[in-house]
Amino acid sequence: MRVYLGSDHAGFELKSHLVNHLAKQGYEVVDVGPHVFDPEDDYPAFCLNTGAKVVADQGSLGIVIGGSGNGEQIAANKIPGVRSALAWRVEIAQLARQHNDSNVLALGARQHTLDEASAMAEAFLTTPFSGDERHARRIGQLAEYETSRELPPLPAS
């Protein structure tokens, strides 16, 4: 499986670690950048490009990393077709795949040890989408909104 990774300066060390760690596990890892540490860099370019590469490469997944992971998740989610989830525990990373068919994981490098972040990344990459009808229906509703930009009607009370 191909895995795209992007970060900012705050996530640079964790991204570098995951690039090596996941490659050793047999993943085809693509480092979207940054490729050198720059304490003044900005995350949007790296996270937007990571998301775009995931969407363009069916069957791939992505990981975006920053200090908290919040801005990185927001940026990745600006790409139509990206479903990025911020994980703070292994179970959350698993649920992102099982229930939301998330294709991009966001991690906060300043929030976790390398081992904790690695465990969440592994859980995300190895957990399949459940395929349950209710989850697929909800994902379909979001995809429809992404293309039409028409809000769905609210259910009658």
> Annotated active-site positions, please?
72, 99
Task: Tell me the helices (H) and strands (E) count for the chain, helix number first.
Answer: 6, 5
Sequence-ordered list of residues with C-beta below 8 angstroms from that of 93, at least 6 positions apart, any chain? 85, 87, 105, 120, 121, 123, 124, 127
Which residues are registered as beta bridge partners of 28?
Answer: 2
Tokens standing for residue 91: 């179970």
Scanning the structure block, which residue is given the tokens 């969407």? 55
Could you give the C-alpha distances from 35 to 7, 8, 13, 23, 26, in angstroms and in order? 10, 10, 11, 16, 21
